[in-house]
Structure 1
Amino acid sequence: MVYDRIKQQMMDTLPFVQLLGIRIDAIGNGTSEVSMPADPKLNNHLGTQHAGALFTLAETASGAAMAGAFADLILGLRPVAKESRIQYQKVAKGATRASGRVPGDVAALKATLTAEGKVAFPVEVDVFDEHGTLAAQVQVDWYLSEKR
């Protein structure tokens, strides 16, 4: 399946993601599920998940959702995370997971890409801790252009 190839490609080419133990669990058409283990090396001074680790988890989920939305075209594209915003809601205790989604009409985004050779759009991500508590909400704005 194309989503499995994208997942493997991302895991093979993102050494920082590997360093944190982040795992891409699932990619769909504009969606993703990503997880990070509980590990004391990822903690902050409070003994909870470090904000930087949570951001990396969310950014990875956003990239996986973006790639899933453009699965049939992704090998010919140059994706760049253009901007991001994170709102921390609660401290994250233990293992964490992130759910990414491309809001809106993916077909319309693809049509813009085809017509203009580029497209920009947000990806929304919710981050939860092992108890299901919403720890952060993130938006990553992606810019895709055709490889030259």
Structure 2
Amino acid sequence: MYERIKQQMMDTLPLVRTLGIRIDEIGSGTAKVSMPDDPKLHNHLGTPHAGALFTLAETASGAAMAGGFAELILGLRPVAKESRIQYQKVAKGATRAEGRVPGDLDALKAELKQQGKVAFPVEVDIFDAAGTLAAQVQVDWYLSEKRS
């Protein structure tokens, strides 16, 4: 199921492909994604642009969210409601992001089943090529059942 989610995301997110972002791993409420070091993605300092880093983090958050709801995701309408990013250090080189749903997935699924919708945060850490924590991101997701 996780491979299908990876493929679906890559097929439907052209900006992610344009930036060279790869979804390396999806698990139950977790994800790891990576972005190459490409001069086309650099800022005026010659380091990864903040917008590219944000897209990397948002992709990791979406993959973690989808992985957490893998068996239900095709019947859901996910929307990123709000995002916050805190830059820690200048990222250098290739970057990777690790996303995780910090809450109790079973409780979130129960709320979804009972209410037909659920909102929750996904936390993401962005690391550079040296393993330095470059940024921390929180994306608040809202899931609702698809209407026919």
Q: Please classify the TM superposition score into its range, dividing by the shorter chain length.
A: over 0.9
Counterpart CA distance in 2 for 1:14 and 1:51 is 19
The within-5 A match list for 1:119-138 is 119-138=118-137
| Structure 1 match to 2:113 | 114
In structure 1, the residue matched to 2:24 is: 25
In 1, Cα distance between the equivalents of 2:111 and 2:122?
A: 16
Unpaired runs of 5+ in structure 2?
none
1:30-45 correspondence to structure 2 within 5 Å: 30-45=29-44
Q: TM-score when scaled to structure 2?
A: 0.99
Q: CA deviation at 1:17?
A: 0.3
What secondary structure is seen at the aligned counterpart in 1 of 2:60? helix
- SS of 1:123's partner is strand
Alignment match, 1:101: 100
1:143 & 1:14 partners in 2: Cα distance? 18
Which residue does the alignment assign to 1:90? Answer: 89
Is 1:70 paired with 2:75?
no
Deviation at 1:27, TM superposition (A): 0.2
Distance between the aligned counterparts of 1:80 and 1:55, measured in 2? 16
Matched, 1:11 2:7: no
State the Cα deviation string for residues 67-111 of structure 1 (Å, max 9, x = none).
Answer: 000000000000000000000001110000000000020000000
- Give 1:92's aligned amino acid: A
1:33 aligns to what SS in structure 2?
A: strand
Letter in 2 for 1:140: V
Residue 48 of structure 2 aligns with an amino acid whose one-letter code is Q
SS at match of 2:143: strand
1:109 aligned counterpart, secondary structure: helix
Aligned AA for 1:74?
I
**SS at structure 1 position matched to 2:70:** coil
Paired with 2:77 and 2:103, the residues of 1 have a C-alpha distance of 21
Report what 1:51 is aligned to: 50
AA in 1 matched with 2:114: A
Q: Distance in 1 between matches of 2:130 and 2:32?
A: 16
Q: 1:28-54: per-residue Cα shift (whole Å, max 9, x none)?
A: 000000000000000000000000000
Task: Give the length in aligned residue pairs.
Answer: 147
Find the counterpart in structure 2 of residue 79 from structure 1. 78
- Kindly report structure 1 stretches of 4+ aligned residues shifted beyond 6 Å: none
